[in-house]
Amino acid sequence: MPTFDFVPASTEDFRRRAERRLPRFLFDYVDGGAYGERTLAANEAGFARIGLHQRVMRDVSACDMATALAGQAAALPVALAPVGMAGMLAQRGEVQAKRAADAAGVPFTLSTVSICSMEEVAAVSEVPFWFQLYMLRDRAVVQELLERAWGLGVRTLLFTVDLAVVGARYRDVRNGIAGGASRLARLRAGPVDFAAHPRWLWDVALKGKPHGFGNLSTYVPNATNPQAYRGWVESQFDASVTWEDIRWLRDQWKGRLVIKGVLNGEDAKAAVEAGADGVIVSNHGGRQLDGVAASIEALPEVVAEVGEACEVLMDGGVRSGLDVLRAVSLGAKGVLIGRPWAWAMGAGGEAAVSALLKTWQGEMRVAMALTGIQSLAEAGPGLLRPATA
């Protein structure tokens, strides 16, 4: 059980704790965004501009947050988003996150580029997890990954469509993750940084092996760490992908197909026409094209276009249970969270992720009670108001 030098009361508390515990290159990998990180900041600022109407003298003795996301029961409208290399944040991080999600009653999504393989994560419990995939140039690899996932009980596929090319992330260039760093920078980001974080060094670097991309080890057999996979993974991103390829994917996948990475009604409609059962309004957490719309700002347009035809989720900038209620009130069925659970994992592993989710559940319960509603079905634009400066 991890100990804290303060009691974490908010998502920011977990972030600050993760910053102290993780090597700089890993914290920046989680924390950073593309270019000048304006969209990264806009994602959070968009929620800050949405106020709530307080209502009083209503029976709010029982607030029901339960829902279903992609057909899976959820204790609250939250799912853990796919986070690449989460197994570098704590020992076998994806396994710990799956256990925390199971305990909280929310879905967990495994990234294609996870440290733990889908087989290792499936062994945690019989509760199904979601799997996230990119369109790789080698379609045979795509088919094999889909078959493996299906055989392990995965029935919801999140397909990321906003990574035709990798966004320019300045922090990753500076700390060497993106390659091309000087010898001195590599030294600082490696041995020197590791020595300054002995707990991480013992828990993850030494005891948390293997550090390869578990789902891809068959295809890059000589790679032993995330950096060794980098060239193969980037060579597999296919910039020629169109909606026709999503129709091909629809023919391959028998379960629910959710398209992740749409920011406007036109693309959302195209996703539905290609066979998607749901869409996730997302700008990749501000990690791709800087200057695009904040996810929460793009949400209403997507809901208006396809909300009757498919399930609409969103991610990006969600930092509290209050933000979850704001997103649901604007038409989202639920939200996915990436950085918050990654920060918590870096701060204290499974126990910290569980504590984060419990905190959000409490925040959401208070928000619902003080806006005068008992169920998510009562949430809507009427709960919202422009925030004061």
Cross-strand pairs, 385: 51
DSSP H helices, the chain, are 11-21, 24-31, 38-48, 93-104, 118-122, 139-151, 170-175, 183-187, 193-195, 198-200, 226-236, 243-252, 265-273, 295-306, 321-329, 339-370
Cβ contacts of 264 within 8 Å, gap of 6 or more = 298, 301, 302
What is the SS3 assignment for 288-318? CCCCCCCHHHHHHHHHHHHCCCCEEEEECCC
Q: Which of 53, 197, 211, 284 is catalytic?
A: 284
Q: Which residues of the chain have pLDDT under 70?
A: 1-6, 178-190, 388-389
What is the C-alpha separation between 255 and 210, in angstroms, rounded? 31
Task: Give the DSSP H/E element, type plus range, for residue 335.
Answer: strand 334-337
User: Which pLDDT does position 175 carry in this prediction?
Assistant: 79
> Closest by alpha carbon to 261, among 290, 239, 281, 291?
281
CATH number of the domain at 11-386, out of 3.40.50.300, 3.20.20.70, 1.10.8.100, 3.40.50.150?
A: 3.20.20.70
User: Which pLDDT does position 1 carry in this prediction?
Assistant: 45
User: Which pLDDT does position 168 carry in this prediction?
Assistant: 86
> Closest by alpha carbon to 159, among 23, 261, 286?
261
Q: Coil, strand, or helix at residue 277?
A: coil
Residue 71 burial by CB count (10 A; 0-12/13-18/19+): exposed, middle or buried? middle
Cβ contacts of 155 within 8 Å, gap of 6 or more = 71, 128, 255, 256
Look up 197 and say whether it is catalytic.
no
Over residues 325-376, the pLDDT tens digits come to 999 999 999 999 999 999 999 999 999 999 999 999 999 999 999 999 999 9
Over residues 207-252, the pLDDT tens digits come to 999 999 999 999 988 877 777 777 788 788 888 999 999 999 999 9
Q: At 136, give phi and psi (nearest 5°).
A: -90, 155
Q: Sign of dihedral through CA atoms 185, 190, 191, 192?
A: positive
Cross-strand pairs, 237: 136
The answer to whether 385 and 53 are in contact (CB under 8 A) is yes
Domain-wise residue ranges, the chain: 11-386
